[in-house]
Structure formats: structure tokens, C-alpha cells
Chains A and B, each alone.
Chain A
């Protein structure tokens, strides 16, 4: 008879989980790129760590000053800020990925208590939670230094507050995970998060116009904000500082009840996962049709293929190029993130033009005022050109396993790149025209000379970017996932792209300066046209070379993009 394994203790299970995580991390460092990525993360972690520590010191001093001055409303505000940071920044920053996936653990003989604790403990591993805890500690230290007899009250209230924040955060993520299990929802939430960021930009405008009314509203509802869980630790400390131990204890108990409530709601979600809830998106089985089917027999190649040439689309591009172009357009409008990043500059330009109509308190120059009516358009187009760096230098990023199809099909890779360039070029032209409408309607239309100079300059810069982008896309490919933000091409690609951008801008402004000095700005469009002709020659050279380059890079491309 086979021997049956004994049950494993919770501690052992947790240590096994940590060990698996460690082994996964260690194995991931086998590749050179992951090692470089780790070094980058350490450098970034150090940079943010210093900032977080500085803020912690500030929060500690702030808490000290609040206790000394007895201005408890500021402690309420401080705790609310920490709460909002802890709860919402991770949601916006985690690229809308479901976090802890406990389903992998369900195959093991795990008790619910162990599963629940693991799910909850996962929240502590979040850097935002660590920052939140550190700031709670800073408040505790500040309060204790200001009034040592509040130390125990601070420890009690802030510990419950940490637990409340932790469980609320896990609760939010657990329900979000349920919602985000569906791809479409994931993309919608990502779009909403971007709009929220955008809303923050516009909030400055709102504050400028309705600032005093908003402030009055917040002040009038202070009692309401103080009754909610994030502010309760402050109320506990206020009561304790006023020697009202019963009220302090009652408020701490209320905070504890909130914490238990959040824990209970979280346990409800975890229980669903524990009992095998499947949030997958697998399609339902295909319904079989009862009727007998005719079996199509594709004609052998000689009859089907021979004599069939790619029919040009409207006499401009071949059928494969048109097919890829069609695919690019579909991929674009189905990728919320890509759409958002493509049209975000337009919204920001509109924002800049709008703010220029608001009277400035500090007397600074507005966007339009700063550049003058004539130069608002070229400046906006330069900004639009920057968005190209999100697409062109990594234009195979979203192909996934489909990239194999591009190698299997009887198509030259230069055709693939041409189709992608046509799409990106078209997008650039479309956005430049939209910006022209924006600038004309909301600001001042540019003169014909500036318009011509802008377009010819744009042609030059776009050709350079598209050509270089083709080379970079094949040389340093990086896979992107749909519906996820914060995806960037490789560091080297970004560096080269920015280098090219500054070189283009240098040439464009240098030419403008020289023309203005030597003959007048009327010469500028012609100079830019000459530069564009040179850029076109370079572009064509690179484009023709992509077929050979793709063959040389084939293994790397398939490995990186179709993983």
C-alpha cells in the first residue's frame, strides 16, 4: 500500500512558498537581460528609497508638530493621504495584473486558514504597503517624542490602522482581480486609471477656478471624514491626549470592528478562490452542428496559386502590405493602452491651450503667450513627434506568436515594415491635422509659411524616425502585452531614439536659424524638403535592408516576441 503524506504545518507551508519564490527569482537571473533589469531595479529602488525615507522623516516631524500644537485635523489629513496612497497608487501602478494567484496552491492539502493567511500576507510584500507601514511608524515616533505617555495609544491605534489598511488593500485587490480576470475589463480599468491621472492634471485648473468653494466644502464635512476608518487612529490619539481613555478605547474598538469587517469581506472572496472559483476566460465548447458537412478540399497549389499575383490595392500597395496595414489598424483600436498613448498628447495640448486662457496669479506666460500664435503649432507637432518613440522603435512589440506567421508567409520583411510605417505615418499625419484644428480653434492659426515649414520639417523627422525605428525594432525587439501600461522598449532603443530626436531637432532649429540669418524664413520649407529627400534615401536603404536583417535576427525575434 502506498504511504500517504502527513499534513504540513502552516510555518512549513509558508517557508516552502518563500523558497519557491526565491528559486523562481534566482532562476530568472540566468539571462543577461534579467541581470541588467535587476541592477536597474536596485538603482531605482535606492532612488525611491531615499525619497521615501525623506518623506518619512517629514511625516515624523509633522506628527510631532501636530501633537505639540494640538491641531488634530492635520493628523486626520495625514492619515487620509497615507490611506489613499496605500490603497490607490498600487491599483494604478500594478499594470492591472492580477497579483496573488492562489489557484496554483489549491492542488496541495492546504487548510483555509493557511490559504487566507498567505493571501493576506502577500499584501505586505507590496512596496507601497511597506511605505505605508513605514509612514505609520514615522507617525508613531513623532507622536511618542512629542508626548511620551501617548506611546501605547499610538502603538495600539497605528497597529490596528496598519492591519485595516492591509486588509482593505487585499480586499480591493481581491475584488479587482475578480473584475480584471476578464481581458476587456482589464483594459477598461487601465483606461480609467489613465483618465484619473489626466484628471489630476486638470484638477489644478479646477482648483484655480473653484478652489475656495472646494476648500469650504472639505472643511464643512470634516466631521464626516473623521468618522471614517482611515482617520480613526487620529481620533484615538486626540481622545487619549485629552485624557478621555474611554472614548479613545471606544474609537480604537470601532477601528477594530472596521478591520474585522474588511477581513471578513476579504475572507469571503478568499473562500470563493479556496473552493475552486475559476476566473478564466476559456471559451465555451463549440456547439456541433447536427448536419453533415461537405469536406472542402483546398486545391493543390498548382491550380490555386500559380498565376495568382498580389493584386495592388488601389494601385498603391500590394495585397500583403494592405493586409498588414489592416491588421495594424485593428490591433490599434483594440489596444486601449496604445490608443490612449497615441491620443494623450492631443488632450494635453488642448489642456495647455485651455490653461492659457485662465488668468495667471503669478503672472507667468501662457503656452500660447510663450511661443506666440505662430509657434504653438510647430511646438505641438514636436510634442506629437515624441509619441512616435512609443511606437516606431519597437513596432513588432504586439505581434506575439503571430510574428512566426510573418516568417512563414511568402512576404518580404521590408513589406511588413512598410505596412507598419504607413500606419504610423498615417497616424502622425492625422494627429498633426487634429492639432492644427485645435490650435486654430482654441488659439491662433499659424501662418502659411510656418505651416509649410512645420510639415516639411515633420516629413524629415518622421522619415528618420521610421527608418531608424525599423532597424531598432529588428535589432532590439521587446514584447509588449495588450492592455498594460508602463511598457517601454529596451533602454538602448530609448537612448538611440532620444539621440536621434535631439539630432533632428538640432538640424531643424539650426536650419531655421541659418535661413533666418542668411535669406529669411521663406527658404525654410525648401531646406526641409532637401533634408527630407536625404532622409528618404536613408529610409529606403534601411527598409530594403530589413529583409536581410530579419533573417539574421530571426531566432532572436521569434524567441523574444513569441515567448
Chain B
């Protein structure tokens, strides 16, 4: 068994009476491309915020690369890259200024930071707008800039909250290649996305969270086998062995509800 890059034990977070994340246990091995899925409001972003040090857990323990996040925050942060939900951009800087800033914040010297900035801007097709402030970027451009900022220091773990949302197909293709190459070199990627086809194509392992609790976790084949077995036990033919991730997701999150809802109609649209 390989060394775990991300370990979360009993991770919980409450906002007043609302329990957003409820005793979540996660284990992501080094070099894994890990998909973290769940319906809207399930607790995905809250979990990522806790794992990246943006939000304090109410209870539980987080260990990244063998270091506890609680006592080694600075050292851990040096080794991770994050694209948070809100992108965390300084919108009155130009793209180049922002990447240089981030590079230096992670301890890169000026020359290295400038060289990587130029390379990333060119790669992300942002280089032809050198004087444009981030506030004037389109949503897709902002997303690409946030991704660039997440990788400029060569992180060992990359947390990506909906990285492909708003990114055009060409850029998405290039990004996927870049992320694959990163995992091939040993980096770990923790990704949330609502586009299940992308997760299915990219990720080797998946966890599904619903109402703050992890309801399924494992490799895609393990999840497929689990769902198929449950269906067989429930009387569904074993031909359903080759399930897509979307089918697995629906089967796990809403075993009966999804099919019932798709058959329902709104009274005035009948």
C-alpha cells in the first residue's frame, strides 16, 4: 500500500445548527487522481476548505503528506496548490503581476517566478492581454489564472474545486493533459466536479458525499461492483455490471428518488 497524501479522520463542521460535514473519513494515496463528488450543498466545498486550511473543522483530524495541518500549516501549505470555489484572485492586478505575486508568496525567487509566469500565461492563452486587470477577465480566463496560480510552485497535492467550470473545451483538454502528467510524476490531485464524464475519464478513485456524510468511496471498479451487487440483491439483472459514473452516482445518492423524479411532471406543463 502506498503512502497516503491526504488523510481525514472524523472531519466535521457545523454552522450553527447545520451540520455541513459530518464525521468524514478520507484517504487519498500519493499519485492518485481523486474525484470528490456530491449533489449541491452536500459538503464538498466545505470539506475542501477544511483540507486546505481555509476553514477550521469543528472536529476531526487532517494530515497532508504525513504532516498534521493543525501544527504545520505553513509547511503543509508550501506543498499544496488550491483552486478554491471563489478563485481567490487579487482582481486589481494583471494576470502576470498576480502570478508573480503568488510565486513569490510561495518562496520562488523573482527570476523563477517570472519565468514560470511567462510560461503559464502562454500555456493558458492569457499572454496576449498583458495589461488587462483580472477584474476585466472573463470567468473562464479567471479560472485559468487561478489554475496557473495553483501550480506555479509545483505542488505535491493539488486541490481543485470545479476546475473545468467555465473553461472552454480546448483549454480543458490541455489542462487534463497537464494534470495527468502531474499525477504521472507523483503529484496527488483532489478534484470536485459536477461534470461526471470528466471525473470518470480522469479519476482513478472517487468518494461521494451526501448531506455531509461519505456514502461511497473507492476505485471506480469497486464502486461499480458495489452498486451492481446491490442491484442484483434488489432484483435488478446482473447485466447492469458496466455502469457509468452518472448511474453509480444516481444509484448511490438517490436510490429511488432519481427515477421517480424523472417520471414526474409539473402540473402546468403536462
Contact = CB atoms under 8 A, between A and B. Distances in A.
A293 interface: yes
A323 B104 contact: yes
In the complex, the 3 A-B pairs of residues with the closest C-beta atoms, listed nearest first: A304-B154, A301-B156, A404-B88
Nearest to B91: A400
Given A298-B151, A405-B105, A555-B55, A410 B174 contact: no
A554 B54 contact: yes
B262 interface: no
B263 interface: no
Contacts of A298: 116, 151-155, 182
Contacts of B110: 311, 319
Interface of B: 52-56, 73-79, 82, 84, 86-93, 97, 100-102, 104-110, 116, 119-120, 122-123, 125-126, 128-129, 132-133, 135-138, 140-141, 149, 151-156, 170, 174, 177-178, 181-182, 185-187, 268-270
Nearest to B54: A407
Nearest to A562: B86
Contacts of A286: 125-126, 128-129, 138, 140-141
Interface of A: 2-3, 183, 281-283, 285-289, 293-305, 308-311, 319-320, 322-324, 326-327, 330-331, 334-335, 398-405, 407-412, 482, 551, 554-555, 558, 562
A287 B97 CA distance: 21
Nearest to B267: A3
A400 B178 CA distance: 29
Nearest to A303: B154
B107 A288 contact: no
A185 B223 CA distance: 56
Contact of A411 (B74, B108, B126): B74
Contact of B107 (A295, A320, A412): A320
Contacts of A412: 74
11 contacts: A283-B132, A296-B178, A300-B156, A305-B156, A319-B107, A320-B107, A323-B101, A327-B90, A331-B90, A401-B91, A551-B56
Nearest to A411: B105
Nearest to A292: B174
A305 B79 contact: yes
Contact of B138 (A282, A300, A309, A334): A282
Given A301-B156, A305-B107, A322-B104, 8 more contacts: A300-B154, A320-B107, A323-B104, A327-B101, A401-B87, A405-B105, A410-B78, A554-B55
A300 B182 contact: yes
A301 B187 contact: yes
B54 A301 contact: no
B92 A410 contact: no
A319 B156 contact: no
A324 B110 CA distance: 13
Contacts of A281: 136
B91 to A, nearest CB: 6
A408 B101 contact: no
Contact of B84 (A300, A322, A404): A404
Contacts of A554: 54-56
A285 B116 CA distance: 24
A299 B120 contact: no
A418 to B, nearest CB: 14
A553 to B, nearest CB: 11
A551 B53 CA distance: 10
Nearest to A399: B90
Contacts of A294: 123
Nearest to A294: B123
Nearest to B30: A300
B152 to A, nearest CB: 7
A322 B105 CA distance: 9
A400 B90 contact: yes
A300 B185 contact: yes
A192 B156 CA distance: 50
Among A183, A289, A402, A555, residue most surrounded by chain B Cβ atoms (within 10 Å) = A402
A408 to B, nearest CB: 5
A513 B5 CA distance: 65
Contacts of A323: 100-101, 104-105
Contacts of A301: 78-79, 153-156, 187
A204 to B, nearest CB: 36
B88 A401 contact: yes
Nearest to A402: B90
A483 to B, nearest CB: 10
Contacts of B105: 319-320, 323-324, 405, 409-411
B88 A297 contact: no
Given A286-B126, A405-B105, A330 B92 contact: yes
B92 A283 contact: no
B109 A311 contact: yes
Contacts of B54: 404, 407-408, 554, 558
Contacts of B170: 288
B90 A408 contact: no
Contacts of B174: 293, 295
Contacts of A296: 119-120, 123, 178
Contacts of B151: 298
Contact of A297 (B75, B107, B182): B182
Nearest to A482: B92
A326 B181 contact: no
A25 B137 CA distance: 32
B157 to A, nearest CB: 8
Nearest to B128: A287
Nearest to B15: A555
A309 to B, nearest CB: 7
A308 B108 contact: yes
B109 A319 contact: yes
Given A335-B92, A404-B84, A405-B88, A295 B177 contact: yes
Contacts of A288: 125, 170
A405 B104 contact: no
B40 to A, nearest CB: 20
B141 A283 contact: yes
B125 A405 contact: no
A311 B138 CA distance: 34
Contacts of A322: 104
Contacts of B116: 298
B125 to A, nearest CB: 5
A405 B125 CA distance: 23
A474 B84 CA distance: 22
